[in-house]
Structure 1
Amino acid sequence: MEGEQIVTSVGSHPSIRIANLLRLIKFSHTLFALPFALASMLVAARGLPTASILGGILVCMVGARTAAMAFNRYVDWEIDQQNPRTAERSRLASRWEALALCLGGLTLFGSGLLLLNGLCRLLALPAIVIILGYSYAKRFTSFCHALLGLALGLAPLGAWAAVRGELTSVAPYLLAASVLSWTFGFDLIYSLQDREVDLRLGLHSFPARYGAATTLRVAQILHGAAWVGWVAFGLQANLSGAYWLACAIAGAALLYEHRLCRKKDGRALNVAFFEVNVAVSLLLLLGVIGSLWL
C-alpha cells in the first residue's frame, strides 16, 4: 500500500527496478477489473473459450491497465510530489520511465488485440482514449471518479465482445454498469484521503467539492446500485446457486466496507478500498465459475 517502505532508489539492480515499477503502477490493483472481465468471458462462452481468446483478453487487460496507471503517474507527477501520501512515487522510478512503461503497456495491449476479433480492434481506440483520459479528469470535473468507473466497466464489455463478436446482449451492459457504480463508489472512499490536498491544489475531486459526509452517502448509494446490477446480471445470465451465494457475501462485504469508513483513519480506508473490494471482485468471479461448473 501507499505507506510501504521503498526498497531502493532509482538506478538499482534490474530486479529491484522492476519491483519498483510494479509498485509504481500498483500492479496488484489489476485484481479490481480482471475478475469481472473473466466473469463476462465465462458467461459469454458458457465455459472456457479458446486459448487464443483467453490469452488475448489477459494480455489486453494487463496491457491496458499498465498503460493507464503509468500514464496517470506521468501526468500527475508534480501533483503526487505535493501530496504526502503519494510523494514516494517519484523515488520508485523517473517520470520518463513512467511514460515508457505506458508505451510498453499500449504495445502489449495492441499485441493482445491481434489474438481477438475485428470488433475488439474497432473498439480499441475509444477504449484507450477513456482509460488514458481519466488522468486529466480531476482538473476539470468532480465526477472524475465516474470516469474511472467507466474505464473499469469497459473490461466486461471487451471480454464479451472478444468471445461473441457482438455487443447486442443485455448481460455485459448490466455487468459493466455494476462495475462502473462499484468503482465510482470505492474511488470516492479512497479519495477522501486526499481531500485537503485537492482543496489546496485546486483539484476537482468529489470530496473536495461536496465534503466527506456527502461523499460517503453517495458511495453507499452507488454500492447499493452495483449490488442490484450484479443481481440483474445473474438473472439475465441464468446463473445459479453458487453465484447467488457469492452475491450475498459480496453485499455483506460492501456493508462492512462502509462500516470501516466510519473509523476515519488511513488504515481503515486502505482496507476498505483494496482488501474488501478485491474480495468482492474475486467472490463474484468464483460465483460465476461455481454456477457454470457445479
Structure 2
Amino acid sequence: MIQKIKLYGQLIKFEHTIFALPFVFASVFIVEKGIPPLDKIFWIVVAAVAGRTAGMAFNRFFDLPFDRLNPRTKNWVSVTGAVKAGEILALAVISSVILVFAAYKLNKLAFYLSPVALLLLIIYPLGKRFTNFVHLLLGAVYFIIPIAVSVALKGTVEISAVFLGLGMAFWVAGFDIFYALQDIEFDRKAGVHSIPAKYGIKKAILFARIFHLLTFIFLILTGYYGGLGYIYYGGLVILTGFLIYEHSIIKENDLSKINVAFFTVNGYVSILYMVFVILDLWLG
C-alpha cells in the first residue's frame, strides 16, 4: 500500500502542489483579511488538493499516447505500467468527486460552480491537440483558484480575487512555456501544439516574458483592490527579482537550467508571495 501511494505521488508529481497551495492560502487571507473558520480552510485545502490531483491524473491519462513515444517521459510510472491506465482514470474520477463534495461543504454556489473547474481540468490536457496557446488553458485553471476561494468564503467574487487569478494565470502560463521548451522537437514531430513548437524558442521566451510582465501588473492591482500595503509591494519587488533571475537563466542557446527555473524558482515565488501577503495583513 505504501509503495502504491508513492507511485501515485510520482504520477501526479505531488511535490508540485507547492506551486498552487501557497497561492490558495494567499487568496484566503486576501479575501478574508485574516483567518477564516478552520472548517472553511479545511474544505478549501481538500478541494485544492483534489482538484490538482484530478487535473494531473486526467493529464497523464489523456497524454499516454504521447508519453509512450517521448524519450523524456519513457520512464514515467504511467508509461511503464507501474500505474495502470484504469487506475489513473479511477484516481481522476475519485478526486473529481472529492472536489465536488468539498465544494458542497463550503456553500451552494461553490457546489453549483464546481463542474466548471472540472471542465477546465479536462479541457487543458486535450487542448494541446488543437491550440498552440494551451498554456493559457492551464492558466485558466489557476485563474479560478482565487475566484473559487472568494466564492467559498464570501459567496461572491471579490475584484481582488479576479486580479489575483489573472496574475496566477499568466504566471503559470509563462513557466509552462518554459517547461514545453524541453519537448519542442518531439512536439513538432508528434503534432503536439504549444507556443514553442509553433513559434520557436526565441519567440516562446518572449511570450513568457510578456506573460510574467502581466503577472506583475495584475499582482499590483491585487494589492490595490485588496487593500494591501507597503510590505506587500516590497515583497512584489523581491518576487520580481526572482522572475528576472528565472528569465536570465533560460537562453535560446542554453536550456540546461529549465528545471532550476521551473521547480526551484517558481517554488520560491509562490511561497514568498503567501508570506508577504500574511505579513502585510498582520503587520501592515
Query: Higher mean Cα deviation, 211-220 or 266-275?
Result: 266-275
In the TM superposition, structure 1's runs of 4+ consecutive aligned residues that sit over 6 Å from their partners are none
Deviation of the 1:140 alpha carbon = 0.3
8 Å CA contact retained: 1:240, 1:291: yes
Deviation of the 1:158 alpha carbon = 0.5
Partner Cα distance (2:260, 2:98) in 1: 31
Change (3 A) 1:51 1:264: farther
Q: Deviations over 1:81-136 (max 9, x none)?
A: 11111111223411111111111211221231232011111111111101111010
Q: Deviations over 1:221-271 (max 9, x none)?
A: 110110111111111111123212221111000000001112755551011
The equivalent residue for 2:26 is 39
Q: Is residue 156 of structure 1 aligned with residue 143 of structure 2? A: no
Identity %: 36
Partner Cα distance (2:98, 2:114) in 1: 13
Q: Is residue 67 of structure 1 aligned with residue 54 of structure 2? A: yes
8 Å CA contact retained: 2:61, 2:88: yes
CA RMSD of aligned residues (A): 1.3
From 170, 175, 192, the counterpart of 2:164: 175
Residue 53 of structure 1 aligns with an amino acid whose one-letter code is K
Q: Paired residues, what number?
A: 280
The equivalent residue for 2:208 is 219
Q: Deviations over 1:126-171 (max 9, x none)?
A: 111011110100000001110000111111110111111101x311
TM normalised by structure 2 equals 0.95
8 Å CA contact retained: 1:56, 1:114: no
Residue 120 of structure 1 aligns with an amino acid whose one-letter code is A
Q: Is residue 255 of structure 1 aligned with residue 208 of structure 2? A: no
The equivalent residue for 1:100 is 90
Residue 202 of structure 1 aligns with an amino acid whose one-letter code is G
8 Å CA contact retained: 2:212, 2:243: yes
8 Å CA contact retained: 1:34, 1:155: no
Partner Cα distance (2:254, 2:121) in 1: 30
Partner Cα distance (1:146, 1:122) in 2: 24
| Residue segments in structure 2 that go unaligned for 5+ positions in a row | none
Partner Cα distance (1:26, 1:266) in 2: 22
